[in-house]
Structure 1
Amino acid sequence: MNLDLNINTITNARVLDVETGSISEPTTVMIKDERITEVGSGTATADKNALDAGGRIVSPGLIDAHVHVLAATANLGDLGDQSPYYLGAQAARLMGDMLGRGFTTVRDAGGADFGLAAAVSENLFPAPRLFFGGKALSQTGGHADMRGPGTQVLDKHLCCPNIGIVCDGADAVRKAARENLRTGADHIKIMLSGGVASPTDRVDSTQFSDDEIRAAVEEASAANRYVLGHAYTARAVNRGLELGVRSIEHGNLIDDRSIQLLLEHRAFLVPTLVTYERLKQEGAQFGLPEASQEKVDDVLYAGLDALKLANDHGVKIVYGSDLLGGMQPHQSQEFAIRARVQTSQEVLRSATTTAAELLGEEGKLGVVSPGAFADLLILDANPLDDASVLGDAHSAIHAVVKGGRLLR
């Protein structure tokens, strides 16, 4: 799989506008230096850099705002014992597969670093655009503390490919946030509650003190970045929002107060429903420890209700998958799950325009318009009729273009 043909023109393209829910008559999309220059008014060319869409739909590339590109296994505690070179190679494979599924941009929610982001930006291998945050911040015994109850030694080597770093106290949180930001991190992730993949915390626990959360928010804000918070329960979600967290990850157990705060703070909700279905069915097969398997049911069945509650009230909802290890090929199945309670247009917005807003890339990602990156999908099916068709990339996606380069 390579990105090896630069495209300057796409002809016979029926352009999908996600915001209006419309599809144009066949037209021309002009591209130069990775960006779209014109839509509809350019002169078609017949050279080798022109691509005939054949009347197919041309849509914006998709955005997944919650991935773990280093998670080659569901046993996250094992990552710190692996060679970073090995996991880097695994990440290249995983990201190449994401690109093949139509995800031209991803946001890593713990683990990916500046080196991997640099490799992607330099096109060293086919991959989506990568927004990285470095190591997620966790308290002792929190969601990114992967020690079992009998393990005392904590490996603090920043070079090792753990998904997170343990830090206790506001000063330690500040330092950890600054270390990530020093490397160019696009965001800071903190653990606001317990989770499934960690061995010693309860899903319904709250994590970090108010002062610690404020410290992370202040440091991110000072660097013109933002904080995303892992949280399941309404108690954890609401506390994070009140303290300035901008993006809530998961949120399976939110309540009416959560909705009020999400709207009041113009914050974003990033559900990750597919991961719980796959963890239930395949977690053990792909390395999820037994203690974590027992916690899946705590969040599995409430997620769809939370999504409907947020969607009915106009919360900004963004696409996320959060799959681990061998479950990552199911990334696109999130479309079908969300389509149970959202319209196809709403689901598409979550993976394009709303996701671009979260990333601070409005007008650059998630749209087919002049000035935007030429990250495009040429589709054999109309996702406005049924967004779940994107769950089968082989039948729905005819071609993927990233930055004006055709994926082969």
Structure 2
Amino acid sequence: MSTEPLAVAGGTVIDGGGRTMIPGLIDVHWHTSYCCAAQSTVVTGDVLEIAIRGAMGSERTLMRGFTSVRDVGGNPFATKKMIDAGEIPGPRIVPAGPPIGQTGGHFDYRPYQAVPVNQGDSQWYWYSAGLMAMADGVDQVTLRAREVMRMGASLIKISGGGGVSSVYDPLDVSQYTEAELRAFVDVANS
């Protein structure tokens, strides 16, 4: 096979030594912050450990062929910033930021004894660290969605049903009211 047309068109010729090259893969359901830590670490660790593990895992993600990932939950913003600046290797990240769930929903990992919630109490650690978020009612949904967009999210990830790793809800339940879902859509549209 001749490589002459590529060279003439300004393309780069790469001798693959008989190997096959494919375009970069895109993972549309990725978690930079959760990918490289055991769930027990996500529950009991700290944000620095989670961030470091995610940053270190970004190079492995890239080397598996994923040149882009849609990060649908966590706090990948520092890792994204460093990848974009060329400071660490990793895929292009399209971030959703912290996934938003309701009380008793997929991202409610608070201790069982954390009910009732007192408005004067500080946020649970992972919510204040931006690893996940909680919103109940139209006003909170609007606020949390706006906060996530302010962090730099390109999309909003909500939990509209139970999850495989949920504590308090089965996989097949519906969550959020129609009014709450409309509030998420309104923020995304704006």
Residue of 6, 9, 30 corresponding to 1:42:
9
TM-score (norm 1): 0.41
1:75 to 22, 39, 47: 39
Deviations 1:188-207 (A, max 9, x none): 00101111111111111100
Secondary structure (helix, strand or coil) at the match of 1:131 reads strand
Q: What is the CA distance between 1:51 and its match in structure 2?
A: 3.6
3-state SS of 1:115 partner: helix
Identity of aligned residues (%): 34
Determine if contact 2:30/2:71 at 8 Å carries over to the other structure. yes
Q: Where in structure 2 are the equivalents of 1:30-109 lying within 5 Å?
A: 41-42=8-9, 51-54=14-17, 56-71=19-34, 72-75=36-39, 78-79=41-42, 81-109=44-72
Moved over 4 A (4+): 156-159
Native 8 Å contact 1:26 1:55 kept in 2 = no
**In the alignment, which of 140, 143, 162 is matched to residue 194 of structure 1?**
162
- Structure 2 residue 167 is matched with structure 1 residue 207: no
How far does residue 140 in structure 1 lie from its aligned partner after superposition?
0.3
What's 1:149 paired with? 112
The counterpart of 1:110, out of the listed 64, 73, 89, is 73
Distance across 1 between alignment mates of 2:136 and 2:106: 13
Q: Is the 8 A contact 1:28 1:44 kept in 2?
A: no
CA distance in 1, matches of 2:80, 2:89: 12
**Structure with more strand by fraction:** 1
Corresponding residue for residue 185 of structure 1: 153
Contact 1:117 1:130 in 2 (8 A): yes
- Map 1:2-401 to 2 at 5 A: 27=3, 41-42=8-9, 51-54=14-17, 56-71=19-34, 72-75=36-39, 78-79=41-42, 81-152=44-115, 155=124, 158-160=127-129, 162=131, 164-222=132-190
Q: Which amino acid aligns with 2:39?
A: N
Gaps of 5+ in 2: 118-122
Alpha-carbon offset, residue 100 of structure 1 = 1.2
- Measure how far apart 1:41 and its partner are: 3.7
Secondary structure of the 2:166 match is coil
1:289-343 Cα distance to aligned partner (Å, 9 max, x none): xxxxxxxxxxxxxxxxxxxxxxxxxxxxxxxxxxxxxxxxxxxxxxxxxxxxxxx
Change (3 A) 1:175 1:156: farther
User: Could you tell me how far apart the structure 2 residues matched to 1:221 and 1:122 are?
Assistant: 29
Q: Given residue 188 of structure 2, which amino acid in structure 1 is its aligned partner?
A: A
Shift in Å, 1:63: 0.6
Amino acid at match of 1:174: T
Aligned length: 183
Question: Counterpart of 1:59 in 2: which secondary structure?
Answer: coil
Q: Which amino acid letter does the alignment assign opposite residue 75 of structure 1?
A: Q
Q: Quick check: 2:110–2:124 contact (8 Å CA) kept in 1? A: no
On the 8 A contact 1:147/1:199 being kept in 2, the answer is no
- TM-score, normalised to structure 2's length? 0.84
Partner SS, residue 90 of structure 2: coil
SS of equivalent residue, structure 2 residue 158: strand
Aligned-partner residue type, residue 170 of structure 1 = V
Task: Describe the shift of the 1:151–1:56 C-alpha distance in structure 2 as closer, same or farther (beyond 3 A).
Answer: same
